[in-house]
Amino acid sequence: MTSAPITRLSISRPDDWHLHLRDGAMLRAVLPETARHFARALVMPNLVPPVVTAAQAGAYRDRILAALPEGAAFQPLMTLYLTEETDPADVARAHAQGIATAVKLYPAGATTNAASGVRDFDKVRPVLERMAEIGMPLCVHGEVTDPAVDIFDREAVFIDRVLKPIRRKVPGLRIVMEHVTTEDAVDFVRDTHKDLAATITTHHLIINRNHILAGGIRPHFYCLPVAKREKHRIALVQAAVSGDPRFFLGTDSAPHTDANKLLPCGCAGIFSATNTLSCLAEVFDAAGRLKDLEAFVSINGAKFYGLPRSDRKLTLVKGAPVAYPPQIETGDGPVTTFDPGFPLHWRVEA
Ligand code: DOR
Ligand code: ZN
C-alpha cells in the first residue's frame, strides 16, 4: 500500500544557525523576513566595525530587539568576532551572562568584513582553550585565504591546514564548520564523532557552480564559500536529509543591495530569508524526505547548542506555486531575493 503524498507539515518552529542581519536601515528591512518564520537565529558579528566584545554584542542585541516588528517572538543569539586581540575573560563573561552563544572565526580576509580576522591561529589559542573549558562553541568560516590555493579548493585545504591542527591543539573545543560546500567537509564531519557539527545553507542545497557561471555570470548566486560542482551539492543534500544530528540549517542569508552586488567587483552574499523554508521543503520533498525536514531546521541545531527546541509550531502547506517578492526594499536600496530557479509549492501558513 502506498501512502498518500504529504501536503501539510507541522513542525517545531525552525532556528537559523547562521544569519547576517547587518545594522540600521538594512537591519530594519531584513529582520522581519527572518522573524516571521524562525524562533531564533545565530547572528553573525561581521559588522563594520565588527562585534568583538561582550559589550558590543549586548548593544547589537539591543538594536536587533528594538528593530523587531510589534509582537514578534524572535530571539537573536549573538556571536563574538574573534580577533588576535580578543580577551579570553571577556569571552567567558559574555558566555556566562548569556550575551554570546558562540564565537566566530574568520580567517583574515576570507570574506565580507573579515579584515580583522585571524592570521596566526596560535595567537587565539588562549581564547580557544578557555572556550573548550566552558563549552562555548566556535563557528568557523572554513576557507584558507592563501592566494595560491584555487578558490574551489579553499574549504578542503582549510580542513587539513587549519581545522585538524585546531582540533589537535585544543581538544574538547566544540566546533561548527559553517556553510559547508564540499563532499570533503561532509565526510570530515561524518567521520569525526565528537565536538564537530556543520551548518548547510539553503542555496548550497540548490545551486552548483554552473548556476553562477554557465550561460552568463549571475552575481546574485555569488557567495562565499562559492558553490562547487554538482557532486558536492548532492553530498550536501544527502547530509541535510539524512537526519544525522551533526548537520543543521544555517541559511547564511546575507543581504547586499543590488547596487553592491551588480558591480565589476560585486559583494559575496545571497539573501534567502524570505523564501528559505519554501525552498527547503521543496528540496526535502524532491528527495522524498519531508519527514526529516524538522530535524534539519528545528531539532539538530538546538540540540548541538544545548537549547530546547521551540515550543511554537510552523506549518507548511503544499499547493499552487507561491509568489514571493523578487526584491525587498530597504532604506539602502533594493535587495534581491534568492531565486531557486524552480516553482515553490510549499508555503508557510500564516
Ligand atoms: O557570501 C557571504 N556573505 N559569505 C560570507 O562569509 C559573508 C557574507 C556576508 O557577510 O555578506
Ligand atoms: Zn555568513
309-323 confidence digits (pLDDT tens) = 999 999 999 999 999
Is any atom of ligand 1 closer than 6 Å to the C-beta of 223? yes
* Residues, the chain: 350
From the CA of 24, how far away is ligand 1's center (Å)? 18
Does 154 contact ligand 1 (Cβ within 6 A)?
no
Burial class, 225, CB count within 10 angstroms (exposed 0-12 / middle 13-18 / buried 19+): buried
Task: For 161-185, write each residue's pLDDT tens digit.
Answer: 999 999 999 999 999 999 999 999 9
- Please check whether residue 237 is in contact with residue 287, taking contact to mean a CB–CB distance below 8 angstroms: yes
C-alpha distances out from residue 340 to 89, 254, 263, 317, 347, Å: 44, 16, 22, 18, 15
Decide if pLDDT at 346 tops 70. yes
- The percentage of the chain sitting over the pLDDT mark of 90, rounded to a whole number, equals 95
- The DSSP symbol for 327 reads E
**Structural domain spans, the chain:** 8-348
The residue with cell 562559492 is 226
Residue 1 banded pLDDT, cuts 50, 70, 90: low
252 is catalytic: yes
Mean pLDDT on 91-108: 97
Average of per-residue pLDDT across 150-171: 97
Q: Which mutation among 105, 267, 336 tests ligand 1's pocket best, with the greatest number of atoms within 8 A of CB?
A: 267
- Res. 283 pLDDT band, cuts 50 70 90: very high
Cβ pair 325, 274 in contact under 8 A: yes
Question: Has residue 2 got a pLDDT over 70?
Answer: no
204: cell is 548550497
181 Cβ inside 6 Å of ligand 1: no
Ligand 1 centroid – CA 140 distance (Å): 13
Q: Given a cut of 90, is residue 65 above it in pLDDT?
A: yes
Asked whether 268 lines ligand 1 (CB < 6 A), one says yes
Number of C-beta neighbours around residue 232 at 10 A: 23
Average pLDDT over residues 328-345: 98
According to CATH, the topology of domain 8-348 is TIM Barrel (3.20.20)
Q: Note the pLDDT tens digit of each residue in 255-279.
A: 999 999 999 999 999 999 999 999 9
* pLDDT at residue 111 greater than cutoff 90: no
pLDDT at 110 over 80: no
Q: In which band, very low, low, confident or very high, does the pLDDT at 87 lie, cut at 50, 70 and 90?
A: very high
- Tell me if 268 sits within 8 A of 222, measured CB to CB: yes
The whole-number average pLDDT for the span 234-254 is: 98
The rounded distance, in Å, linking the Cα atoms of 107 and 161 is 12
Query: Residue 3: is its pLDDT beyond 80?
Result: no
Residue 35 has what pLDDT? Answer: 98
- What are residue 157's phi and psi, to 5 degrees? -70, -35
Give the per-residue pLDDT at 272.
98
227 with 235: CB under 8 angstroms? no
| pLDDT in the model for residue 235 | 98
Q: Which residue has the cell 544525522?
A: 244
Which segments of 178-261 does DSSP mark as H helices, in order? 183-191, 209-213, 230-241, 258-261
Q: What is the pLDDT of residues 295-304, one digit of tens each?
A: 999 999 999 9
Q: CA of 117: how far to CAs of 16, 22, 92, 106, 316, in Å?
A: 23, 18, 19, 5, 39
* CA-proximal residue: ligand 1, atom 3 (nearest): 269
Where residue 224 falls among pLDDT bands split at 50, 70, 90? very high
